Structure formats: C-alpha cells, structure tokens
Amino acid sequence: MSTNLTSETAAPTRVALVTGGSGGIGRAVVERLARDGFALGVHYSGNKAKADETVAAIVAGGGRAIAIGGDVAEERDMSAAFDAVEAEFGGIDVVVNTAGIMILSPIATMDLDELDRMLRTNVRGTFVVSQQAARRVRSGGAIVNFSTSVTRTQFPSYGGYVASKAAVESMTLILARELRGKDVTVNAVAPGPTATPLFLTGKDDVAIAGLAQAVPLQRLGQPTDIAETVAFLAGSARWINGQVIFTNGGLA
C-alpha cells in the first residue's frame, strides 16, 4: 500500500498573522514559522519595503506569504488586515503580536506625550489585535502576545515601558480564560535583553555589555532565540495556556 499523501489527505496549511513582522523579533518569528510550513501574513506599520523583502524571501524559499499594513491600534486597520489574510489563505490559526515600541525615561522626567504614544501602541494595539484574534482564530490555534522580562527585573528608566507590558500580561491571562471551550491557547512571551534595533537604540557599548553579563549565559539573546519559543507555542504546546514565558537566558 502506498504511503504517499494525496492532495485530499494532506494536512491543510496552517496560517499565521505576525504583527510587526518585517523586522527584529517579528521577522525572526515569520522566518521560523515559514520553516514550519505556515502561510504568513507579514504585518508592517511604516516600512512596506522591509515587509515586501521578507515576503519575497519566504516565497523564494517555496513558502506562501503576503504583506499587510496598518496601525495596530486602529480597529479598522486590523480588521482589514485579518480580512486580507483570511481572503488569501482561507483562515487564521495563529496570531503573534510582536508590534511594539520602547521609550525609556525615568518616571520623574518622562514626557507624557511619549508615554501616551507608547501606551497606544503597546496596550491599545495589543488589545485591538487580541480582540480580532479572539473572534477569528480557528479551533486548535494560538494567540501569542509580547511582554518583557523587565516586569521582573525592574531596571530603572523602564517604568513607562513596563507599565505597558504589565497590562499586556494581564489582558493575555484573562483572554486565555475567556476563550474557554474554543481550543485556542493564549500566552505571552517575555524576552530578556535581545539584540534588536528596538533594544540597542540609545544604549552605549558599556550598557549593552553590562546587560549581556547580567545573563547567566553571558550573552544577549538573538531574535532567533525568541522565535523558537513562539514556534513552540504556535505548534505542539497545546497544554501551555494562560502563561507568561520568560525567554531570557536565566536573567533574574
């Protein structure tokens, strides 16, 4: 008897939408999920060229992907983004919400307009995307939001950023319980110091080296390290739900 799968018996392609998928951790997640056979919606906010480049690389490697733009904090934009992915690939199984901004300042001197801008993207944006995901992700799927390990390490100057990510953690854990019975997992990944433009901007070599040495593995994380955790949550980790996964090399 032949063991070859026909088109009728082959497993359907799983589909993921990754916000902020054109650079840094987002691009690493896109590339990792593509290797697992996912069709990808690669979301971008302002840099269409980078998203198109990411899509082209996936397609050149035999995968399927489309680029979609929009403001994560705007309901219409995100509804249209989800519509586009569903129209192209037939549905959505995984949503990974890596989009975010980080503005560092002591609490005493932080510009409140900058705080509002960060909260809009990190809190409202995660809420809008999570809301769409809660309505649309298919049974057996996963929603993965992003926090930060600084919710535990409490580094000075991260007050506003941590406030936004603590909100992400809370809404993530509540959404996991609200989706009872739908067979959709909801978790957050909390990276430690990771070598991305978002993390490195504004830090000198001494500060970067100090953060690397604070980790027992004595190095910065790489975007691919974080992408491995996301791939696990998006794939076989069906018994992990309502959790914050600290992917930080042992940073305490």
Report CA torsion sign: 57, 61, 66, 68: negative
Q: Which residue, chain included where needed, has tokens 């941590």? A: 162
The set of residues, in sequence order, having a beta carbon less than 8 Å from that of 245 and lying 6+ positions away, is 187, 188, 189, 190, 229, 233
Structure tokens at 202: 């504004």
User: What do you get for the CA distance between the two ends of the chain, in Å?
Assistant: 55
Q: Which residues are marked as active site? A: 161
H/E stretch holding 116: helix 112-119
Is the Cβ–Cβ distance between 92 and 138 less than 8 Å? yes
* Separation of alpha carbons 189 and 246, rounded Å: 6
